[in-house]
Amino acid sequence: MDAQDKKIATDLSYEIIKEVSRAIRPYVGKPESGEKVKMGADGTPTSFIDIVAEEKVVNILKNAPVLSYLVSEEIGELKLGKGTQKSITLTHELRRDDLEEEEIPKFIFLVDPIDGTSNAIKEIPAYGISMAVANVPRGRVATLDDVELGFISNFANGNFFEAEKGKGCWLNNEAVKPSTNINISNMTLGGFTKSGTSDASKLVDNARRMRVLGSVVLELSYVASGRYDAFIDLRGSRILDISASKLILEEAGGIITDRYGEKLNSKLSIHEKAVIVAANNEILHKQIIDILTDNQTDFIGKIGIVSRIDQDRPILFAAKIIDYLLTNGREVVVEKRLAKKLQDMKKNPKLDKILEKTKKDYPNTAELFDDINFNIDFRQLSKGIYDFNCDMIVVLGGDGTLLRAQSKMKPETPLLGINMGTVGFLTDIEVEDTFDALNDVLKGNYYKEKRTKLVVSHENHHYSAMNEVVIMTNKPAKMLHFQIKVDGEIIEEVRADGIIVSTPSGSTAYAMSAGGPIVDPKVGGFIIIPICPYKLGARPFIVSDNSEIAVKLLKKGKSAVFVMDGQINDEAEYEEEIKFKKSEKDVYFIRTSTKYFYKKVKDKLSEGGVQKNNWC
């Protein structure tokens, strides 16, 4: 958008704001203005006063000398200008390649004609208009990154915010800056939470004061101008509402992201929403994100090391990591089996050849195996994994190694997985990124991801599983007859090769291969999946993780084997029940990126879990 186009867009915006202000003035404070006349394009009720305001917006852009796209709360998405008006779907329109040059609009206007409609009807002085102007991209959808201009006017008190991308933000023609507060206990917080959100309650409890004015647009601008220190909307704000205020806040020097601290770059559409977390500066913002993600990071001082020991490469890499952690002043303990392998390897006369072969087999990471220090007494560092008392355990291997480690260690010790297996879905770090990740973790730049576990009860025995429990026949090619109950209610009786009871973590493992859904680990549920059922109607169930699941064998003379995470197994006989409940103890993973789960689904499962290049 060049300077001339910006002037055209700014002049149109000024005219719209002035005319809407005039048009709604007679209706402010009048109960009849709140009469619901229809449902808006965004699915929310439209009041009479909203229609009055939006008609002004549409008429001005319709009669403008240039073509524009309009995204507005009540009427939806239009193409306007030069006396014409046409309903469109913006995302489809922008991908069209059959438009002549003169048919392509200059601007995308995103307008909420009245944000805080209820306040206007009741004459509470917190209502106004929000306008953003974005570039029109060619051949792709428009996103928040395309917004170039932002305007917000508080009709109740006349305050007028405007911003230009890369140039700054002004309130009533004077540059504004956010507050400098970095202390949550002194924070003025605005926003909307969701019922039952304990992390949000913790955030509110920590704040000095909480404000809820009923206008996302104005409250975000208050963060930009220092009236608020932070603002959250955990319900999800419409992109329409935040497109102008996001630019205003960022140009003032504030920060706005999703609840995980990731950049907002949603597409521009009447239907788009985003959970938002805004703050005056990065220090306060990070504290808010940490509370919302339950990430009260601790100093990592003592670190345990566990590794697969059936290959030379992970053993060698374990030595490199141990040396790195000791050099960085951390206390290290090493699993006994690994410590013995390291001691044997340091005495091996063929150590140089083993190193040379490892580098040759994995050339992309060869430099990581330079300068490995074997001048360490690994025996002095060794302990049984049951006796680890650590702030974190580093696990080198695949998912099997990680599952074995978590089943034996003290509950709720966080794990950092380095992928040296086949798939490594649960591991966070690839080999080549190890030391960058460890550097971040040692500096406290990490968060803890919580995963649910199952407690499995059979007779007087109790086991735990993080991924899944598989119940199957101990005789190949034989089916079993199962009864499945949830909270005492029979939900299915089925003949099948077996039954899988899976946590969300296990939904990407055997459960997925058996036809179950992929479930986000944040979902509070368990999955019950019959394996090859002899019944058309037998389908997977997702049940609450507050429920108790019971599986019983119904056919006399048959027995079954049940296996927890591929590690532990037991047998059940006819009429015996196997019960499943959520464990009181969770599993915690150290994560260095918030884009863990869906990125893993895309990267790891698209190729069936097989690396394209075995040297990576």
Report, as residue numbers or ranges, the catalytic residues.
399
DSSP-based three-state secondary structure for 447: strand
What is the token pair recorded at 227?
């009236």
Q: Give helix 48-62 / helix 3-24 axis angle, nearest 10°.
A: 150
How does strand 468-473 pair with strand 560-564?
antiparallel
Indicate the DSSP class of residue 570.
Answer: E
274 φψ region: left (φ > 0), alpha (ψ -120 to 50), beta (else): beta
Task: Round to whole Å and give the CA distance between 215 and 154.
Answer: 10
DSSP-based three-state secondary structure for 172: coil
412 φψ region: left (φ > 0), alpha (ψ -120 to 50), beta (else): left
Name the residue with tokens 């040396």.
Answer: 323
Distance of CA 436 to the CA centre of its chain: 22
- N- to C-terminal Cα distance for the chain? 44
DSSP-based three-state secondary structure for 314: helix
Name the residue with tokens 């200008």.
Answer: 81
Question: Buried b / exposed e across 515-524, counting CB within 10 Å, b at 16+?
Answer: ebeebebeee
What is the token pair recorded at 268?
């521009």
Nearest to 13 by CA among 126, 104, 130: 130
Query: Amino acid identity, residue 550?
Result: A
Cα distances (angstroms) measured from residue 452 to each of 188, 388, 412, 569: 34, 22, 11, 20
8 A C-beta contact, residue 429 and residue 421: no
Concatenate the DSSP letters of all residues of 448-483 into one string: EEEE--EEEEETTEEEEESSEEEEEESSTT--EEEE
Task: Round to whole Å and give the CA distance between 47 and 582.
Answer: 47
Beta bridge partners of 171: 161, 174
What is the token pair recorded at 555?
């056919």
